[in-house]
C-alpha cells in the first residue's frame, strides 16, 4: 500500500484497540482494488473522544470514521443527521461528512448481522427472534431484525430497564412489530442472538441455557475474539446452524463502503483477502 498526499483516511476510533479487526479487512481490500484509502486504528479514551472526532473531520482527506466501544452512544449526540437504525439503537458506528460539512451517522452492526443470516438461508420474515443483550450492538441487531419484518422479537438484558427502553424505541419506529422484554430462555425461537460480551473470556458463563436450544434454532454470535465461542460450540453440538461474530463484520463492510462513497465489494471477496489475526 502506497500512502501519499492523496490518501483518504478512515479513522477506526475506540479503546482499547487490540481487538480491532477492521484494518485487517479493509486495508487488504483497498490494496488489492487500487483504492487510495487506509483504515487507521485510533485509540481514544472517553474523555477525549468528542474533540478527537470533531478534529478528525476538520481534515480535508477525512473519508469517514468507524466508531466502536466505548463511543457508539456518545456519537449520536454529535450528529447533524442520522438513520432510523441509529435512532432505534441509540448508538452509531459510522460517520461521514456530507457536502455541506454536516456529520451524518448510521449503524451497520445490525445490517451486517441480517445480511449474514439471510445468506445462510434463514428466512427472517415472520420468524420469532430472541436477542440477548440490549446494549449498542444488541439494539442495532434488534433494529435491523425489525426492519427485516420478523414476526416477533423478544429482548433480554441483565439490566431490565435497558431492554424495556429498547422495546419502547422499537414500538415508536416499528408500531406493527410484536416486541417484548422477557427472559433469556431460547425455547420456541427460530433465531437466538448473543449480543453480550459473554464469550470474550475463557471463564465467562454462557449467555443462555444451551440445553433448551432446539436443533432447528439458528444461533448468532457477536463476540469476535475467537471464531467458535463456547456458545457456538455448544449450539453446534446440539445440531444448530450458527453464525460466527466476524461474519457480521464482513457482511456490514460493503454497506460501510457505500456509505463512505467508496467502491464496494462482496463479503466473500473481503474474507478471501483478509489478514485476520486472533
Which residues are part of the catalytic machinery? Answer: 72
Angle at CA of residue 196, ends 25 and 27, nearest 5°:
10
Burial class (CB in 10 A: 0-12, 13-18, 19+), 60: exposed
Widest pairwise Cα distance in the chain: 57
- Hey, what's the cell of 60? 480535508
- Hey, what's the cell of 169? 424505541
Q: Which residues contact 59 (CB under 8 A, 6 or more apart)?
A: 9
Chain centroid, CA 220 distance in Å: 12
177 in helix, strand or coil? coil
- DSSP state, 90? T
| Rounded Cα–Cα distance for residues 62 and 2 (Å) | 17
Q: Which helix (H) or strand (E) holds 259?
A: helix 245-259
Q: β-pairing, 94-97 with 62-67? A: antiparallel
Amino acid at each position: 500500500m502506497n500512502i501519499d498526499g492523496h490518501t483518504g483516511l478512515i479513522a477506526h476510533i475506540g479503546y482499547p484497540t487490540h481487538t480491532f479487526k477492521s484494518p485487517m479487512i479493509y486495508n487488504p481490500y483497498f490494496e488489492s482494488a487500487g483504492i487510495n484509502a487506509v483504515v487507521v486504528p485510533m485509540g481514544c479514551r472517553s474523555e477525549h473522544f468528542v474533540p478527537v472526532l470533531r478534529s478528525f473531520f476538520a481534515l480535508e482527506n477525512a473519508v469517514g470514521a468507524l466508531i466502536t466501544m466505548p463511543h457508539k452512544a456518545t456519537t449520536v449526540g454529535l450528529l447533524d443527521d442520522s438513520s432510523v437504525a441509529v435512532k432505534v439503537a441509540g448508538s452509531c458506528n459510522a460517520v461521514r461528512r456530507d457536502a455541506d460539512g454536516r456529520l451524518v451517522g448510521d449503524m451497520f452492526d445490525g445490517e451486517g448481522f441480517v445480511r449474514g443470516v439471510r445468506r445462510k438461508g434463514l428466512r427472517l420474515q415472520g420468524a420469532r427472534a430472541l436477542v440477548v443483550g440490549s446494549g449498542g450492538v444488541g439494539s442495532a441487531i434488534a433494529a435491523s431484525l425489525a426492519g427485516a419484518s420478523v414476526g416477533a422479537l423478544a429482548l433480554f438484558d441483565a439490566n431490565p430497564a435497558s431492554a424495556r427502553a429498547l422495546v419502547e424505541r422499537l414500538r415508536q419506529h416499528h408500531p406493527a412489530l410484536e416486541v417484548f422484554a422477557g427472559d433469556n430462555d431460547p425455547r420456541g425461537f427460530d433465531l437466538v442472538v448473543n449480543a453480550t460480551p459473554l464469550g470474550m473470556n475463557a471463564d465467562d458463563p454462557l449467555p443462555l441455557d444451551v440445553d433448551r436450544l432446539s436443533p432447528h434454532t439458528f444461533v448468532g454470535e457477536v463476540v469476535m475474539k475467537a471464531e467458535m465461542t463456547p456458545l457456538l460450540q455448544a449450539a453446534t453440538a446440539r445440531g444448530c446452524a450458527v453464525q460466527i461474530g466476524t461474519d457480521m463484520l464482513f457482511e456490514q463492510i460493503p454497506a460501510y463502503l457505500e456509505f463512505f462513497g467508496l467502491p464496494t465489494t462482496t463479503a466473500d471477496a473481503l474474507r478471501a483477502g483478509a489478514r485476520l489475526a486472533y
